[in-house]
Amino acid sequence: MSSTLQIKYRIPFIDYLKFEKRYSKHTITAYETDLDQFFNFIEKQYQLSNINDLSSSMVRTWLASLKEDKLTSKSINRKISSLKSLNKYLLKNGLIEKSPMSSIVSPKISKRLPQFIEEQQLKTLFEHVEFTEDWKQQTEKMVLELFYNTGMRLSELINLKQQQIDFSNQQLKVFGKGNKERIIPLSETVILHLNNYISNNPTEEKVWVFVSEKGKTLNPRYVYGFVKKYLSLITTVNKKSPHILRHSFATHLMNNGAEINAVKELLGHSSLAATQVYTHNSIEKLKEVFKKAHPKA
């Protein structure tokens, strides 16, 4: 049951994210979870009824409780970000006089390089792993191919419509986070495979690119399952998810000399900082080449 503060402040903010910022369902759910958890804690601990009475020390108490619950720094940072976004919205709309978040510092996160799959391993997947001719396995094969050849996110791929593919110009239009549009070029081979796949659709569904045998859009859990199954055949990396194919797409582009701003646009990143993590992988690749090739290494 929603409290007074949640009804007055959280609900309008979430509506703003939905209808004006046009955030994805996944992002909206994350904001709702974070803010509901925060308001429940604050009202229980401090019996707070006026948002202007919220202080930085109250926020820190909540963050300390999250740390005691063994929440990771990454998760805590996300919750801090949710609170900062809410307070920015409240300030902008004159609903609060000052933000208690101005003195809140996010905990440092140790940066880990994104995992990726080697080019040769993915070549093995597409050239040597056998897929049957039935619709289910042809769908799985096409999904894997498009993930790796475009770097698309899972939500972008399963919601891809046939009208978003421009076969004559060999490209597709993607609607990413915040409904931001970007264009991704496709190779002749991928265009041919996509055309064949769509032409062989045995269902009456002619809107979505990827559908099940019943003509329904693909369930994210199902996609996770078969991606993990096929990647387990070719690699021993820990994470065998659709997102690792996005990492592999970006890393292989960087390793083969792609310009970082071009990779940023292809991935749909809002800032260059998010893309720069892939330069670290390319540097590690250069170190590896140096060690193998240089006589004094």
Tokens 């004094």, located at residue: 296
Which phi and psi (to 5°) does residue 166 adopt?
-105, 95
Q: Own/partner pairs for 154-161, CB < 8 Å, 24+ apart?
A: 154/220, 154/223, 154/224, 154/242, 154/243, 155/24, 155/26, 155/220, 157/210, 157/223, 157/242, 158/210, 158/217, 158/218, 158/220, 158/223, 159/208, 159/217, 160/208, 160/209, 160/210, 161/207, 161/208, 161/209
Catalytic residue among 18, 243, 280, 285: 243
Strand pairing category for 165-166 and 171-175: antiparallel
Question: Is 269 designated active site?
Answer: yes
Catalytic residue among 9, 148, 197, 278: 278
Catalytic residue among 153, 193, 247, 252: 153
Tell me the two tokens of residue 261: 């701003």
| Residues 6 or more apart in contact with residue 218 via CB below 8 angstroms | 139, 143, 158, 210, 211, 212
Which phi and psi (to 5°) does residue 134 adopt?
-70, 160
Catalytic residue among 79, 240, 246, 252: 246
As a whole number of angstroms, the distance between CA 184 and CA 192 comes to 16
Within the chain, what is the greatest distance between any pair of CA atoms? 71
As a whole number of angstroms, the distance between CA 258 and CA 201 comes to 35
Instruction: Please give the order of strands across the beta sheet that includes 181-185.
Output: 165-166, 171-175, 181-185
Catalytic residue among 177, 182, 228, 280: 177
Question: Is 246 designated active site?
Answer: yes
As a whole number of angstroms, the distance between CA 40 and CA 32 comes to 12
- Residues taking part in catalysis: 153, 177, 243, 246, 269, 278
